[in-house]
Amino acid sequence: MHKRYKGIAWWGWAAAAALYVGASTAAIEFAWDRAIGALADVGAHRLDLYASSLTSELGRFEMVPALVARQDSVRALLKASPDEAPGLTRAVNRYLEAVNLDVGSGAVDVIDAHGSVIAASNWNQQVSFVGTNVSYRPYFQDALAQGRGRFFGIGTNTGVPGLYFANAVHEGGTADDKADDKAIGAVAVKVSVDALETAWRTPGEAAIVVDSNGVIVISTVPEWKFNAMRAMTAQQQSAIQASRQYAGRTVEALHFRRVGEWNDAAWLGTFPDPRRAGRTTRYLVMSRPAPQGHDTIMVLLDTTGARRQQRLAFAFVTGVFLIAVLYALYALQRRRTIAEKLNAQEALRRANDQLETTVAQRTAALTDANDRMQREIAERERTEQRLRATQQEVVHAGKLAVIGQMAAGLTHEINQPLVAIRTLCDNARTFFERNQPAQALANLERVGRLVDSMAVLTGELKAFARKPEVERVAVSLGEAVAHARFIYESRIRDEAVRLDVRIPPGTTVYAESSQLQQVIVNLLGNALDAVRDAGTRAVTIEADAPDAHDRVRFTIADSGPGIAPEVLAHLFEPFVTTKPRGQGLGLGLAITSRIVEGFGARIAAVNGDEGGARFTIEFMAAAPQRTEHGR
Ligand code: ADP
């Protein structure tokens, strides 16, 4: 089976995406909660710290005006007549200067019942409180009315912000003992909060103290100082103006925005960034009442760190998720690669199997074809054998037929000479009886020649039956031709055949004398047969002089009808004849060609351009030799 890996389905991706969104949201929230929780812990700690530092730092100044108010010299000064005053004033000024130096406060001054500063620790300094009127200041009013006063404000002379503590100076020395002991003035101490602000300053945090007016009086962010934490009504504004508490400034509301609650003690808000206009910072804001008065301490903790933690958490989750996704993709790719490899192997195996099957099939087919071929070959061989047998039978049958034909032919061939011999013998006897021996002898010679030609006839059969081993010698071509001419002398004469013999004298060839005669007798006999019924009866016998290869070309041509086309191809085969029964056996040329081959010569036959047959024999020329030949 071809396995396909389609990868992750759409719902797989959707689930992964949902998981990612869920995990990252949870991580972001978790990081936020943790970071803000940690900030809240820090904030609570800070509030404790600042409260205790307010108690310790400011508390120690609280008692100073009360102690100074009990000084006899101070009371004396407040009650002194104009005569006594200058001396007392000098003494009190010195005293106040010493106290201020010892306690480490900003300034200590004595104020008469009308609000005029009559002595001050900074009496001899350029900016001296002496002579100024502070009757409008709430701390003074409170001190006269309730015995003590306290408030944050900006110095009208110095323009320096600070915390004012004031105590009433009573005629009798105490405010508690007698109800009628009337306040004749007040002592006020001004404390700078610069040190506190510096001590509280922490990076990423802001600390403020808000007074009962809702105005920021201590702030580690200088720009926020004397801004209000709540909206100011027109009435509040005019009251503030009247007290000149903030040196106549208009108190602006701080433009922060509350964006969320963390818990009962903490909330989230965005505050303007004083150093970067238009930008805001988000703080976790926590507050608690200050240990003294109606003030409130607030700490603002920058949440940028929490944001960073959130981003880190998000980045972490994203990173983990990406790694997981990458790993999943890698694993998937790996699986796919392995699957592809397996598929490829499988395909290869299948191809191999198929190949083997194909090879087996082809081999089987080939084997079949081979078997079939073998069978066909065997069949052909059998057929051939049968054919050959049939052929032999046919040949045999043909031979039998030929023998009959031949017998008839032989009878005819032999009968004629026998009749002639009979006649010649009878005539010879008559010549002897008439005493004409010469004629009788001539007859006997003719009888001899006829017997010779009969011998030739029977020789033909013998020659055909076996191939005689002959010794090749130089034989005169001219003599052989003369012999043949002699054999057919009467026929040539009777049939008026024009015979031309053109043999160069002394032409000798390698042959055997009687066989050469037989060859020429055969060829001449055929030529005479051919011209018998022709209009022109002419036979030409020629021989050329030996050529460069020592070959003698011998030709015998006639004016007959030429060799029949159906005969030409089989001319030299036995029993091929066109002559009627009794006239030819079809052996003449077969025997002739065998004899010629025995001479090492070649015979060929063509029909001449002007009709008639032309037989050519190429003999091997031989040096002349004395040869014996009959008659
Ligand atoms: P036969 O003379 O007994 O027929 P041969 O072998 O001598 O046998 O000749 C075979 C045949 O060749 C003849 O029957 C004849 O048809 C043909 N033939 C031979 N010589 C000639 C020739 N000079 N002209 C035409 N036909 C010839």
For 210-237, write each residue's pLDDT tens digit. Answer: 988 888 888 899 888 888 988 888 888 8
Distance 532 CA to ligand 1 centre (A): 13
What's the length of the chain? 631
CA gap 29, 438 in Å, rounded:
170
Given a cut of 50, whether residue 629 has pLDDT beyond it is no
Is the minimum distance from the CB of 579 to ligand 1 under 6 angstroms?
Answer: yes
Q: Whose CA is nearest to atom 11 of ligand 1?
A: 577
Q: Is 563 in the pocket of ligand 1 (CB under 6 A)?
A: yes
Residue 506 has which token pair?
């002394």
Over residues 106-115, the pLDDT tens digits come to 899 999 999 9
Q: What is the pLDDT of residues 1-17, one digit of tens each?
A: 555 556 678 898 899 89
Residue of 533, 589, 610 to mutate, ligand 1, most atoms within 8 A of C-beta = 589
| Contact by Cβ (8 Å): 184, 200 | no
Best of 412, 518, 526 to mutate for ligand 1, by most ligand atoms within 8 A of CB?
526
**Which is higher by pLDDT, 174 or 29?**
29
* Ligand 1 close to Cβ of residue 589 (< 6 A): yes
The position carrying tokens 């002089």 is: 545
Percent share of the chain, pLDDT over 90: 42
Residue 3 pLDDT: 52
Q: Please report which confidence band the pLDDT of residue 154 belongs to, taking 50, 70 and 90 as the band edges.
A: confident
pLDDT at 584: 72
In the chain, CATH 3.30.565.10 sits at: 468-630
Q: How far apart are CA 549 and CA 556, in angstroms?
A: 21
**Model-level pTM?**
0.49
564 lines ligand 1 (CB under 6 A): yes
**How many other CB atoms are there within 10 angstroms of residue 353's CB atom?**
10
Query: How many Å lie between the centroid of ligand 1 and the Cα of residue 526?
Result: 5
Q: Is the CB of 524 under 6 A from ligand 1?
A: no
- Torsion of the alpha carbons at 131, 137, 138 and 141, rounded to the nearest 10: 40
Task: Determine the average pLDDT of the residues in 70-96.
Answer: 88
Checking if the pLDDT of 626 tops 60, the result is no
Report the distance separating Cα 134 and Cα 148, nearest Å.
15
pLDDT at res. 12: 85
Grade residue 628 by pLDDT with cuts at 50, 70 and 90: very low
| 507 has a pLDDT exceeding 80 | yes
Give the pLDDT confidence score for residue 449 in this predicted structure: 87
Which residues in the chain are classed under CATH 3.30.450.20? 60-302
- The CB of 409 under 6 Å from ligand 1? The reply is no
Ligand 1 nearest atom to the CA of residue 612, by list position: 24
Q: For the chain, what is the mean pLDDT? A: 86
Locate the ligand 1 atom nearest the alpha carbon of residue 409 and give its number: 3
Mean pLDDT of 37-44: 92
Which atom of ligand 1 is nearest the CA belonging to 587?
A: 6
**For tokens 């760190």, what's the residue?**
305
Mutate to test the pocket of ligand 1, among 577, 581, 585, 592 (most ligand atoms within 8 A of CB): 577
DSSP class of 560: S
Is there a contact between 112 and 89 (Cβ–Cβ < 8 Å)? no
Q: Is residue 278 helix, strand or coil?
A: coil
| Better-predicted residue by pLDDT, 624 or 232 | 232
Of the listed ranges 461-465, 520-524, 555-559, 607-611, the one predicted with least confidence: 461-465
Write out the CATH class of domain 60-302.
Answer: alpha beta
**CATH pick for 468-630 out of 3.20.20.120, 1.10.1040.10, 3.30.565.10, 3.40.630.30:** 3.30.565.10
Percentage of the residues of the chain whose pLDDT score is greater than 70: 91
588 lines ligand 1 (CB under 6 A): yes
